[in-house]
Structure 1
Amino acid sequence: MSPQSGAAPRVAVLIPCYNEEVAIPRVVAAFRAALPNAAIHVYDNNSRDGTVAAAQAAGALVRREPQQGKGHVVRRMLADIEADFYVLVDGDDTYEAAAAPAMLRLAIEQKLDMVTGTRVTQDQDGAAYRPGHVLGNLVLTGMVRVIFGNRITDMLSGYRVFSRRFAKSFPALAEGFETETEFTVHALELHMPVGEVPTPYRARPPGSTSKLNTWRDGFRILGAILLLVRRERPLPFFALAALLLAGTGVVLSIPVLQTFLATGLVPRLPTAVLSMGLVLLAFLALACGLILDTVTRGRMEAKRMAYLAIPAPDFGPEAIYTGDPSGDQTSVGRQLS
């Protein structure tokens, strides 16, 4: 149902959790204060501590997702919950809840489908944002910016605001922490209007431990990017493979060709067969890229039509979400579309 102009937007705060007994009460309380009219949903992902009891005691609506992994939880949350705007945030108390009204305000004012809370930290010791994570984010975000579009600066942020259009058209195929990569690529591929709001990023509270492994999850995210490139950019992907195969085949064939031109003989027959096979594989890879590029374009059109089938939110200026009794509606973010 399309919202009426001037109506208050329905906002849902979505918090995926795994063993966050220490942090989750603070997160729920902070978002209840920042967004007093929002419904706060905590999805527990097989926690072995008191996360569920702590979230319930803090006043959150608690559900469980038995399939392990953040991607599974996100998929379940976006499928279960009905709202006009969704605020997705990690349950580790590292993101600033006070930034949520500004993120929502930007989304409503500019009619954006995704607003990312870009992380800003003042910690000099790297406790909040470890150097390895900073470097990994720069490298992985840079790859996505080059391949899919230069409209994002913090691809791996776990703090987002989504429109209903985004949430209900997002396929959610990831299983783990690579789901943030999927968010970004989905928005860029469909040319959705997106924006960013800087938000403080702090260290976890004492007694809380990170579930993110720098190297293991970094390689998983890199693998997810490569799979997305193969799936969403098949022609450049297979054209590069074809170029490598053809180049290797040509290099291997040079001494064979020189001998043949000089003597009329082919003494290195295995090398000649190998080089010919590589060149044939190169043409096959290029043909696969051309075919899959057509298929991908059809898939993109279908996804775009599914996105457009969901009515766009239409809220009047009086419905701009501030979360601030003063009613200050000055936006601190920026649109990147």
Structure 2
Amino acid sequence: MVDLDDVCVLLPTLDEAATVEEVITGFREVGLSNVLVVDGGSTDDTREIARAAGARVLRQSGQGKGQAVREAVRDHIDTPYVLMADADATYEATDAEAMLEPLRAGTADHVIGNRFADMRSGAMTRLNRFGNRIINLTFRLVHGERYEDILSGYRAFTRESFLRMNLTADGFGIETEMAVECVKNRVRVAVVPITYRARPDGSATNLHPIRDGGVIFLELYRKAKTNNPLFYFGSIGTVSTLAGVLMTAYVLYRWIVRGVGHEIIAVGAAGATILGIQLLIFGVLADMILTLHREQLAHRERVAEGERVAEGERVAADDRSSDD
């Protein structure tokens, strides 16, 4: 069972003076008194208000939400469980129990709050909603898992599972990167329906939809290199091959119909086609290697689990013998 004293609530902040007190108070009212606010250099009274509300306050050494989360979990949190949320009062502290339940039950090591399960009016613009849907669909196609809402900032996870992840994103790409790393490291994930509210009046968002959306798509594609190499190299190879085929068709058309040769374009067409085919082959080989690697890891885990069970049975037998 998850003891609430074993949970640290992590709140990355940047100019959240209008809402941070409400958020901290909400979590403390549901029994989560260990609240850590990691501030990214607010120019308002965020840090002072957070301290007055009873939270520990840390000023992060770098910039960006991703850097704040990495620094907090690795260097300033020693509890076995972390509940991460935004400090903009869009998440309900009363959903904390549901978020922690899969960890308590031992069915998951990483929990994602699904905002689309109960999204209140005005919580997300149509553009943001559309962008979120496209990003979730892309994640499912590229990485093969349906996590419903990979951009959700409401997460619960074991510190041990977090430390297994190779996280480098500094900004809002941290949620996407965590989702990809869960797939890559076979972290058990549960998706929990939560309520998502509109920001209160006077609270401004730090999110830039176009810029941050581009960063997230790049992060999804970059991570595919090691998690789905067939997609990563295959997509580049397909584009290169199609470009070569189109240039070849153009050269043949001009030569047959007009009697005009295009030697330079012909060379480019051949080069693009050859490169594309090579990348496709490399993607297939890399995917085969990754599959074999995962099978070996799964085999080692089964062997290790069998050894642990055997050792437990041996110890139990020794205890019974000593009792006799």
TM-score by length of 1: 0.78
- Provide the residue aligned with 1:281 in structure 2: 275
- Provide the residue aligned with 1:35 in structure 2: 31
Q: 1:6 to 1:273 in 2, by over 3 A?
A: closer
Greater RCO (Cα-Cα under 8 Å, separation 6 or more):
1
Matched, 1:247 2:242: yes
- Provide the residue aligned with 2:92 in structure 1: 96
- Provide the residue aligned with 2:312 in structure 1: none
2:146 alignment partner, one of 143, 148, 151:
151
* Cα separation, 1, equivalents of 2:17 and 2:250: 67
1:117 alignment partner, one of 113, 120, 125:
113
Q: Which moved more, 1:63-72 or 1:286-295?
A: 286-295
Q: Aligned partner of 2:40: which letter? A: N
TM-score by length of 2: 0.81
Q: Which moved more, 1:153-162 or 1:202-211?
A: 202-211
Q: Aligned partner of 1:130: which letter? A: T
- Provide the residue aligned with 1:332 in structure 2: none
Question: What residue ranges of structure 2 are gaps of 5+ in the alignment?
Answer: 303-324
Q: 1:137 to 1:6 in 2, by over 3 A?
A: closer
* Cα separation, 2, equivalents of 1:136 and 1:181: 13
Question: What residue ranges of structure 1 are gaps of 5+ in the alignment?
Answer: 309-337
1:65 alignment partner, one of 57, 60, 65:
60
What secondary structure, in the 3-state scheme, does the structure 2 residue paired with 1:278 have?
helix
Q: 1:145 to 1:34 in 2, by over 3 A?
A: same
Q: 1:156 to 1:179 in 2, by over 3 A?
A: same
**Alignment deviations for residues 299-335 of structure 1 (CA, whole Å, 9 cap, x no partner):** 9799999x99xxxxxxxxxxxxxxxxxxxxxxxxxxx
Q: 1:96 to 1:266 in 2, by over 3 A?
A: same
- Provide the residue aligned with 2:173 in structure 1: 178
**Alignment deviations for residues 263-286 of structure 1 (CA, whole Å, 9 cap, x no partner):** xx9943223212221122224423
Within 5 Å, give how 1:1-337 maps onto structure 2.
Answer: 10-36=6-32, 38-80=33-75, 81-119=77-115, 120-121=117-118, 123-124=120-121, 126=122, 128-254=123-249, 267-286=261-280, 288-289=282-283, 293=287
* Cα separation, 1, equivalents of 2:59 and 2:288: 40
Q: 1:74 to 1:298 in 2, by over 3 A?
A: farther
* Cα separation, 1, equivalents of 2:212 and 2:125: 14
Q: Which moved more, 1:21-30 or 1:188-197?
A: 188-197
CA contact (8 A) 1:169 1:303 kept: no
**Alignment deviations for residues 7-33 of structure 1 (CA, whole Å, 9 cap, x no partner):** 776111111010011211111111111
Q: Name whichever structure is richer in helix by fraction.
A: 2
CA contact (8 A) 1:35 1:100 kept: no
**Alignment deviations for residues 102-146 of structure 1 (CA, whole Å, 9 cap, x no partner):** 21122211331111111144644x2x2222221111110111112
Q: Aligned partner of 1:253: which letter? A: T
Q: 1:189 to 1:92 in 2, by over 3 A?
A: same
Corresponding pairs, count: 299
Q: Which moved more, 1:153-162 or 1:163-172?
A: 163-172
Q: 1:223 to 1:168 in 2, by over 3 A?
A: same
**Alignment deviations for residues 41-96 of structure 1 (CA, whole Å, 9 cap, x no partner):** 11011111111100110110111113221111011112121111110001111100
What secondary structure, in the 3-state scheme, does the structure 2 residue paired with 1:152 have?
coil
CA contact (8 A) 1:9 1:84 kept: no
